[in-house]
A and B are shown apart, each in its own frame.
Chain A
Amino acid sequence: MSLKYVTPVAMFKKYLPKDYVELVDFGPFGKTQDEAGPGNMGQFKELMEEHPMCSGCWMAYYIRLIFASLPCPEETVTLGTAGCGRLAISQAAVPFIYGNYGDQNAMASGLSRAFRLRFPDKHKDVITIAGDGGTMDIGFSMTMHSWIRGERFTTIMLDNEVYGNTGGQESGMSPKGAVLKMAPGGKQFDKMPATALAKAAGCVYIVKMSPTNIKKAAKIIRRAIFVAREVGPTFIHAYTSCNIEYSIPTEEVFADARAQEKDRFQFEEYMTDAAKEVIDRIEAEEKAAHRAKKGVVAEEVN
């Protein structure tokens, strides 16, 4: 029902806001990645177009990328918590649940289980998108326990290594030595080993990355969602710099993200055998569909 649910009745269309109608007609609902995926961003109406993030915000770019990569946006619900990220996530055209401080993974546990009760034959994708503070500090217990329980949804941590929204305080994910608010003499201890914790807690698909390559970042978001549908908890730890609190000039933001790929955010991808099976199967199906479509286009051209 869900694609039908977003699609306006033809007669009613002219009375609806143009923004809504265009989103359904030209946006990613019910479309493939070939039609409305990150590969052709700028050519379709995005689920998140407007946002109040700072100029040059790398997090805003990555959040746009998340929404453009969703395998099935019309069946997706996102959850988040306080932080810069929710300012943008809540403006996307996908239901977003904002609860209390750091409780996104606990809420997602209840939500995803209840979805499976009500819709046993459907994939309702549940994704928590929260910052480093929400995921690893205030929400730590709820994040870890959702993984330990094997809850089947995706956790994305937008790691800007600082409490950006509250004005630049040290977080558990800030690098050692960083001079930040509440760390006047520099941070005294190491950045938390988030991906190692995720592995110990039983996540079945884990990636750490600085999302500089759009195609690769999109592929990983989709892998994490597909695996969560069938196997268990998945985790993406993405670098999404705070150019304000770390004083990165806007034109240097991309270069900084590239530099981090060789530093604290060297690419890591871990998957269990069961996760790999799902990924191999779905990517083979996608490839076949892509080839078949290319064949049809070639025939039409001929």
Chain B
Amino acid sequence: MSYERPKLVKTLVDINYMLKEAPRKQHFITGAQAMAEAVKRANVDMAIAYPITPQSEVMHLVGDIFHQGHIKEYYRAEEELGTMSAIAGASRAGVRLFTATSGPGLLRGLEAIVSWSGHRVPAVLGILTRVVNAPLSIQPDNIEMAYMMHCGAVMLHAENQQDVFDMTLAAFAIAEKVDVYIPVAVATEGFFVTHAKGYVQMTSDELALTPFDSVASPVPAMDNETPPARIQRDAPVQKSNFMSYLIHAVWQQEIWDSNKRAMKYVYEYLGGPIEVLNPESEVFVVASGCAAAQAREAHRASQELGLSVGLIKVRAIRPFPVDEICAAAKNAKKLIVPEHNIIGWLAQEVKAAIPNGGIVVGGPRVYGGMTLPVELIMKEIHTALGLEFNLKL
């Protein structure tokens, strides 16, 4: 059974044209499709897949677009540690890479993923969130994002299918900037976004990003082609304990600085790390991902009731928009942080970011993968404004 994958001829464009200028058409597609459609336009060299619900749909579709000739190499790996390690290996050859996972899969691959930044692997990782066992559930709960927050990677959190498309494309550009060059994760809620359809304004699939430039890198590809030659006997970590901790320390500092430097590209490609509605309000709902969609609905309902309520949607989880949230919440009396996880990682981040953390209301929270009723947010809004609310679910 031999099948020659078609060689596609595409118009190569830069990321700014792709995201901001290229004509778009409206499609009604799932979040998984939106992620795969972004990968299709990203001129990806290699994608490595391993199934886990609810991510699988994304890498099925990426497999299909490989078969159609949009990407050059694709295989199903043995499990997530093998997948994430293979991504790390392939990146040393100087190619553009994509993979995706969910909850337990992310944790299984985490040993490799957390070293990507240190290895300067500019890959894009889709995180289609899911409960981390136990007890078993396959439903959306974004607690795995808390484990990802401390490894140096840039993290974007998509509210809907449109965000998934735009953020995934932007992720490749951000990851590959010479002054960034660390992985970028694009997270969104499993099922709620991955398996639900929404309107997505998409560019033509005859456009593709300019190819990966293996030379434009702060750490040369290990391909025996890209100078400077690496033939000195350089094994600093073996030289002494002093050298090993010194080198580790300065290297990690540089990674977190790279993470901070990604912020200007979050502005350039995505319009900034937060979106603010009703900036003059005293009560805000602060949310990311799917919770931001529910918060947006609560914001709309509040407007109808004539309540003064603002919305702060957080797009970038890393680098965390400390200055932006401080500025937006400068006059706030209450910040309500609804989340899809039990620990409230976003509430913790917001509390740590602002000087008056006591104004943060940690919740409402749903977990285990249940939906987040707008009524729960409305109740917190009413309480914050000193109003009664008759909660009916």
Contacts and interface: CB of A to CB of B under 8 A. Distances in A.
Given A77-B224, A110-B87, A91 B235 contact: yes
A23 B231 contact: yes
B266 to A, nearest CB: 28
B269 to A, nearest CB: 26
B86 interface: yes
Interface stretch (B10-18, B69-77, B365-373): B69-77
Contact of A95 (B87, B95, B111, B230): B230
Contacts of A6: 224, 229, 231
Interface string A94-111: 111101110100111111
Interface in B85-99: 85-95
Nearest to A125: B224
A93 B88 CA distance: 21
B46 A113 contact: yes
B86 A93 contact: no
B244 to A, nearest CB: 12
Q: Interface residue tally of chain B, by bracket?
A: 35 or more
Given A2-B225, A145-B77, A118 B93 contact: yes
Contacts of B46: 110, 113-114, 117
A5 to B, nearest CB: 6
Interface in B308-354: none
Contact of B82 (A91, A106, A118): A106
Contacts of A48: 233
B257 interface: no
B232 A100 contact: no
Interface residues of A, number: 48
B231 A107 contact: no
Nearest to A17: B232
Interface string B114-137: 010001000000000000000000
Interface string B227-257: 1011111010110000000000000000000
Contacts of A79: 89
Nearest to A8: B229
Contact of B238 (A19, A90, A100): A90
Contact of B95 (A1, A108, A117, A149): A117
Contacts of B230: 95
A38 to B, nearest CB: 20
B82 A141 contact: yes
Interface string B52-92: 00000000000000000000110101110111011111111
Contact of A142 (B82, B95, B231, B235): B82
Given A91-B233, A92-B233, A114 B82 contact: no
B115 A91 contact: no
Contacts of B77: 106, 109, 145
A115 interface: yes
B7 to A, nearest CB: 14
Nearest to B86: A110
A64 interface: no
B280 interface: no
A178 interface: no
A77 B235 CA distance: 15
Contacts of A24: 231
Nearest to B226: A5
A75 interface: yes
Given A5-B227, A52-B238, A142-B78, A117 B86 contact: no
A233 to B, nearest CB: 14
Contacts of A103: 81-82, 85, 88, 112
Of B45, B77, B78, B112, chain A has the most CB atoms within 10 Å of the CB of B78
A114 B221 CA distance: 11
Nearest to B230: A95
Interface of A: 1-2, 5-6, 17, 19-20, 23-24, 48-50, 52, 74-77, 79, 87, 90-97, 99-101, 103, 106-111, 113-115, 117-119, 124, 141-142, 145, 149
21 contacts: A2-B224, A6-B231, A77-B224, A90-B235, A93-B232, A100-B81, A106-B78, A106-B81, A106-B83, A110-B48, A111-B89, A114-B46, A114-B89, A114-B93, A117-B46, A118-B93, A118-B214, A119-B223, A141-B78, A142-B81, A149-B75
